[in-house]
Amino acid sequence: MTLKALISFIIVLSSTPGAYTQQKLPAQIPTAARERLSRLIPNPPPARAIAQEQPAFYTSSTLYEYMDGAADGFQDYDVQAVFHRDFKAGPVDVTVDIFDMGAPENAFGVYAAERSPKYDFVTIGAEGYRNEGILNFFQDRYYVKLAAFGEGADAALQQFAAAISERAGGEKGFPALLLKLPDAGRKPRTERYLRKDPLGQPFLGPAYQAVYEREGGESTLMVCVAANAADALSRVKSLEAHFRTTGQWSPAPEFGTGAARGSNSFEGTLVAAPGGRYVVILLNPSGNSGAFFQDAVARLR
């Protein structure tokens, strides 16, 4: 077969219906998941609203079609499915987006990544906040984002949020590990869940963190969740190797048994120590942070 004939054969083959079946198609949302998400909106809808069109559903791989550049943040937290639908409540236009994040910690993680301590927080779900025309909250495995425009928008937002929260059920609390962190000096609503690459290091994920007011400035307490104690020690070794390559690493006995201090031009200065199945890290430690750090480690054992 000549080269020209071979090329023509390949073109014909690739254009046949059978060729498409060999391509990887976008993941589809199971019918059961679509029905579960749809049931979070009562029928009839709150605020005497009328649905404008059929709901749209997105998977992690197709979310960019709806959110474009903003999809990455949800994909980082392993979004499973998204429900989107528009409603009309008299003069008010309402948009409902419900993100099924698969697990409560992922729902909290993406919610916390978008909130600011300066927002106007409300009692809905585990926690929510509102601003002009929006009301967002998380509950169990869901992150709910509501937007409304027009006279009476605030009332419509409240009714939709209350109805969705009632139907979502599940847990209305924060991740349990956050309750183990010290309360003294913790800055309100600075808690985060970092599913991937804390400090830019894959071996430290996942991790929880919170910001504290300390003498000499702010410090960030980070708790990396390992599979077991041996895995935690391995992660500390990886952190040591990183700092020995990029800066300095030395024992820090004033912070407790097994604690070490690392410093470089990227992460600055930190103290790290294993604590059971956890790696506890204090970023920007002050000179009198030893007792605080040891207390944080003890709380996790």
pLDDT digits (tens, 9 = 90+) for 190-213: 999 999 999 999 999 999 999 999
Q: Do 26-168 and 176-299 fold alike per CATH?
A: yes
Q: Of 79, 91, 120, 96, which Cα lies nearest the Cα of 41?
A: 96
> Two tokens at 159?
């009714």
> Two tokens at 223?
């708790």
List the chain domain ranges: 26-168, 176-299
Neighbours of 185 (CB within 10 A): 15
Q: Of 152, 97, 158, 90, which Cα lies nearest the Cα of 124?
A: 158
What pLDDT, on the 0 to 100 scale, is given for residue 286? 82
Q: Where are the beta strands (DSSP E) in 150-301?
A: 192-194, 207-214, 217-225, 248-251, 260-264, 268-275, 278-283
Q: Does position 3 have pLDDT exceeding 90, yes or no?
A: no
What pLDDT, on the 0 to 100 scale, is given for residue 15? 42
Q: Of 202, 205, 223, which Cα lies nearest the Cα of 275?
A: 223
Query: Model confidence at 68, in pLDDT bands (50, 70, 90)?
Result: confident
Q: Does position 4 have pLDDT exceeding 60, yes or no?
A: no
Q: Which of 21-25, 61-65, 295-299 has the lowest mean pLDDT?
A: 21-25
Q: Where are the beta strands (DSSP E) in the chain?
A: 50-51, 56-58, 81-89, 92-100, 120-122, 127-131, 134-139, 142-149, 192-194, 207-214, 217-225, 248-251, 260-264, 268-275, 278-283
Neighbours of 203 (CB within 10 A): 19
Q: Report yes or no: 142 and 97 within 8 Å, Cβ to Cβ.
A: no
Please compute the mean of the pLDDT values over residues 285-289 and round it to a whole number: 86
What pLDDT, on the 0 to 100 scale, is given for residue 214? 87
Terminal Cα-to-Cα distance of the chain (whole angstroms): 71
CATH topology of domain 176-299: Protein Transport Mog1p; Chain A (3.40.1000)
What pLDDT, on the 0 to 100 scale, is given for residue 11? 40
pLDDT, tens digit (0-9, with 9 covering 90-100), for 70-120:
999 999 999 999 999 999 999 999 999 999 999 999 999 999 999 999 899
Q: What is the CA radius of gyration of the chain?
A: 24
More confident residue, 258 or 13: 258
pLDDT, tens digit (0-9, with 9 covering 90-100), for 11-55:
434 444 443 333 444 568 999 999 999 999 999 999 999 999 999
> Two tokens at 2?
């000549």
Q: How far apart are CA 92 and CA 152, in angstroms?
A: 7
Q: Which of 5-9, 33-37, 65-69, 279-283 has the lowest mean pLDDT?
A: 5-9
Domain 26-168 part of CATH 3.30.470.20 = no
What pLDDT, on the 0 to 100 scale, is given for residue 27? 63
Specify the DSSP class assigned to residue 290.
H
pLDDT, tens digit (0-9, with 9 covering 90-100), for 215-257:
878 999 999 999 999 999 999 999 999 999 999 999 999 999 9
Q: How far apart are CA 8 and CA 272, in angstroms?
A: 62
Opening angle at CA 43, ends 94 and 153, nearest 5 = 20
What pLDDT, on the 0 to 100 scale, is given for residue 69? 85
Please compute the mean of the pLDDT values over residues 55-78 and round it to a whole number: 95
Inter-CA distances, 28 with 24, 77, 81, 115, 291, Å: 12, 19, 9, 30, 51
> Two tokens at 158?
């409240």
